[in-house]
Amino acid sequence: MFVKKADGSLRLVVDYQKLNKVTHKNVYPLPRQDNLMAKLQHAKIFTKLDLRWGYNNVQIKEGDKWKTAFRTKYGLFKYLVMPFGLTNAPTAFQHFMNDLFRDLIDVTVVIYLDNILIFSEKPEDHPAHLFYKLSKCHFHVTTVDYLGIVISPAGFSMDQKKIEAVTSWPTPRTVKQVQAFLGFVNYLCWFIPNFSSVACPLHNLTRKETPWLWGTLEEALFQDLKSLVTKSPVLIHSNPNLPYYLEMDASGVAMGAILSQQGPDNCLHPIAYMSKLFSGAEANYDTHNKELLAIIKALEEWRIFLEATDKPVQVFTDHCNLEYWMQAQTFNCRHAQWQLFLSNFNFEIHYCPGKQLGKPDALSRRLDYVDSPPEPEVMLQPEVFVL
């Protein structure tokens, strides 16, 4: 069948589900969005290219072309080049592009499949000579939409079209409609404080064992998510020459974090937000371990920024015992593993009361969790500390 593309042209789509089931999967990784954006911290000028024909630039190996055969009323056809719909097409194409631009990747170019972004700090250093689809390319601009994110020298913000798509999203009536909505906003969670906590009850609706019930709470959370999208801030570019500030908090079911740096106005400006639910086992940890695990998860998530920094990462938590955790003389097995991981980072932990730590605290706590039983709080005994 043919489906209409954004520019009005048609794309042939073939159902390759049976072929994909018997295909050995290519595990070549696609680049992470936050890793791509981290490379643009000093960029001032951009050129965005959309490669003409995309996957069709890659030929199919001789002897394998018959596997792509499909039948129409005009006869039997097979692809000579890689089509859309094959399970390994994205990874194979990413490998092809990375190999083609291997000398330029992360130096002047970032690539996600057929979306190419050339970046430069100085206009005179801005080269571009590619075979491109002119209607989708933007040359020598200071603001560009790349992978649904608006990039400028000031930082990153959401594409207005995506914001409008979320705000006009109708109330879901089925599990599939909830999954579709969550899948769309999940791509934007980088910009959404409190995402995991707000979306948790909606995620619960998609479980097989959960009966469908769209009530007042679900509708309120659905509207909350839409509202958070419209209020999303501009996230600044990280600067490795400045210290990082990491504000943390954990509740009974989730953790929240904000990564920031100080701007010229001496105020902290966000680089990224993070909010994650604790797994089944993690949800049973005591307060001390949850607060510590929150730091572990945040450092792991933002490792590309925070590992081996010259200046200590300033970590703020509302759990006072964490200030002394690294000085403890005895560790259990879990703590020993965590300490090994933390040894890769240069950081300092500071105690900050919860009232002063309002932003990340809000990321991990919601009124819809008030019925959750409070977890037992176990403080470290004084004898485990070096005095």
Which of helix, strand or coil describes residue 345?
Answer: strand
CATH 3.40.91.50 holds for 245-384: no
Query: Is the pTM here over 0.85, yes or no?
Result: no
Domain 15-153 class in CATH: alpha beta
Residue 72: count other Cβ atoms within 10 Å of its Cβ. 9
What is the per-residue pLDDT across 332-358, written as a single tens digit (0 to 9) for each? 778 778 887 888 888 888 887 754 554
Q: What is the pLDDT of residue 163?
A: 81
Q: What is the pLDDT of residue 69?
A: 92
Q: What is the mean pLDDT of the chain?
A: 78
Q: Quote the tokens at residue 275.
A: 């909010």
What is the per-residue pLDDT across 116-153, written as a single tens digit (0 to 9) for each? 888 887 776 665 433 444 555 666 677 777 777 788 78
Percentage of the chain exceeding pLDDT 90: 6
Burial of 53 (0-12, 13-18, 19+ CB in 10 A): exposed
CATH architecture, domain 160-230? 2-Layer Sandwich (3.30)
What is the per-residue pLDDT across 203-213, written as a single tens digit (0 to 9) for each? 888 888 888 88
CATH code 3.30.70.270 region(s) in the chain: 15-153, 160-230
What is the per-residue pLDDT across 82-93, written as a single tens digit (0 to 9) for each? 888 888 888 989
CATH code 3.30.420.10 region(s) in the chain: 245-384
- Predicted confidence (pLDDT) at residue 15 exceeds the cutoff of 90: no
Q: Are strands 155-158 and 144-146 parallel, antiparallel or unpaired?
A: unpaired
Lowest mean pLDDT among 38-52, 116-130, 274-288, 307-321: 116-130
